[in-house]
Structure 1
């Protein structure tokens, strides 16, 4: 059906309508089928510039390495149930629920399969359809940086993932949204804070903002960096924070005061 549409871009509603007219069925889990299709074919999600919650799709041909790919394995039912339960049946991005907000939740791979992710439970999260499509569109916008994304997404710490992505982009501006996806932090981790922490390690990172449509978007660009400290950036930042607190206590004349939990 996408092949027959040629270069015409279809919304998910139009896809559902056409498939329903052909099969006589309306509940065909089209989002999951579209994700499976992407294993072998280029089907980017593009955000409608006039309606930011609407996305369109078109078939652009085979994936460059389609002959080396294997079909997506089905996620185990137990892992799907565990994922929904772990997140309280809420979208991991916006927090909305099917019961209260009438959204549909789908299982998303935090690290996409095509970028080295797996079907294991720790790589799964529930997203509402809107946020799932937005994530697909953002990755589609950066298909030329696939290798940079693949290399950074597999690293064990958020600071490492963000830093290596910035390095791999070779001085290009990186949108804050992409930084947040690569950071893969629960509870809406703050990319702005991570940038401050990387700067504390000696990294030179510029921040810029510009208006696109009705929104102001933030971008980061790496000018220079320092080698990763022994033990990793997270441990080094924790040591710096501890030293800073100790210095404050000394200035206040209470060097032995216990630390407050944060």
Structure 2
């Protein structure tokens, strides 16, 4: 594989990085505009300029009240750089493989009149690549909803989860990072589906139960629906080979059933 090189960043990009480094507690977009944009230089899409730093820098985005706060975490190593876009050929291939169906909600172009967009399953700022394995075709509603939802998640945590290949390990790691706090089924489903579509993500959650001390469950009434929340009461030491342990247990269970 050819070695990737960092694209030359503009003076504005470099001023944004400098401002973020000097303010470790983070800056909201108004602060960045005041500190990094020169007088008379209009930047209507300054948040986009910040996102363009993601292939080369880890920048966290916690939400405080009604503001998104941008926090500089670290510079990515050269092997982590990903400035590749999606070529027209690759975009056409991904759309073709979707067979006219949104790979997130299941609605179709023919029956529902949706428009498909090629999207990164794992966002580039979390280490996602533009390889075909990390691309899928989703409708406009799912695309916007996913962006809004993911923008509220802390980047440093999501980078750790996105780099975990096993769905079992990923779910357990999330619950461990959030130990003592209730985690919604919506969040867990998103994490389960980060790298591949999970038709029955709840089953993956049940399969880790024998290998954790306790997994608590809570029903929560939210407007017109009831959602399930889960948590580990306290942080535990997870087995590194959790996926293999689950696989062995399921194999023994099937053998007994036969």
Q: Give the TM-score taking structure 2 as reference length.
A: 0.65
C-alpha RMSD of the superposition: 3.4
Q: In 2, are the aligned partners of 1:93 and 1:188 still within 8 Å (CA)?
A: no
- The partner residue of 2:96 within 67, 70, 85 is 85
- The answer for the alignment partner of 1:190 in structure 2 is 200
- The answer for the alignment partner of 2:56 in structure 1 is none
Q: Does 1:115 align with 2:115?
A: no
Deviation at 1:204, TM superposition (A): 1.5
Question: Which whole-Å deviations, capped at 9, do the CAs of 1:33-58 have from their partners, x for residues lacking one?
Answer: 9995561599x9x9xxxxxxxxxxx9
CA distance in 1, matches of 2:82, 2:173: 29
Q: In 1, are the aligned partners of 2:116 and 2:140 still within 8 Å (CA)?
A: yes
SS in 2 for 1:204: coil
Question: Which whole-Å deviations, capped at 9, do the CAs of 1:107-126 have from their partners, x for residues lacking one?
Answer: 11111111111111111111
- The answer for the alignment partner of 2:159 in structure 1 is 150
CA distance in 1, matches of 2:102, 2:118: 10
CA change 1:202–1:166 in 2 (3 A) is: closer
SS in 2 for 1:223: coil
- The partner residue of 1:133 within 144, 150, 164 is 144
SS in 1 for 2:51: coil
Question: Which whole-Å deviations, capped at 9, do the CAs of 1:214-244 have from their partners, x for residues lacking one?
Answer: 2222221112545325xx3333222212222
CA distance in 1, matches of 2:116, 2:139: 4
Q: Does 1:165 align with 2:205?
A: no
Q: In 2, are the aligned partners of 1:39 and 1:71 still within 8 Å (CA)?
A: no
Q: In 1, are the aligned partners of 2:120 and 2:134 still within 8 Å (CA)?
A: yes
CA change 1:196–1:236 in 2 (3 A) is: same
CA distance in 2, matches of 1:240, 1:199: 11
CA distance in 1, matches of 2:51, 2:149: 17
Q: How many residues align?
A: 201
CA distance in 2, matches of 1:233, 1:61: 35
Deviation at 1:196, TM superposition (A): 0.9
Deviation at 1:61, TM superposition (A): 7.2
- The answer for the alignment partner of 1:24 in structure 2 is none
Question: Which whole-Å deviations, capped at 9, do the CAs of 1:139-175 have from their partners, x for residues lacking one?
Answer: 2333xx3322210111111111111111112322222
- The partner residue of 1:103 within 87, 111, 114 is 114
CA distance in 2, matches of 1:88, 1:37: 34
Q: In 1, are the aligned partners of 2:109 and 2:115 still within 8 Å (CA)?
A: yes
CA change 1:61–1:151 in 2 (3 A) is: closer
Q: In 1, are the aligned partners of 2:212 and 2:238 still within 8 Å (CA)?
A: no
- The answer for the alignment partner of 1:10 in structure 2 is none
Which structure 2 residue ranges, 5 or more long, are not aligned?
Answer: 1-28, 31-44, 54-58
Q: Does 1:74 align with 2:104?
A: no
CA change 1:36–1:101 in 2 (3 A) is: farther
CA distance in 1, matches of 2:97, 2:114: 18
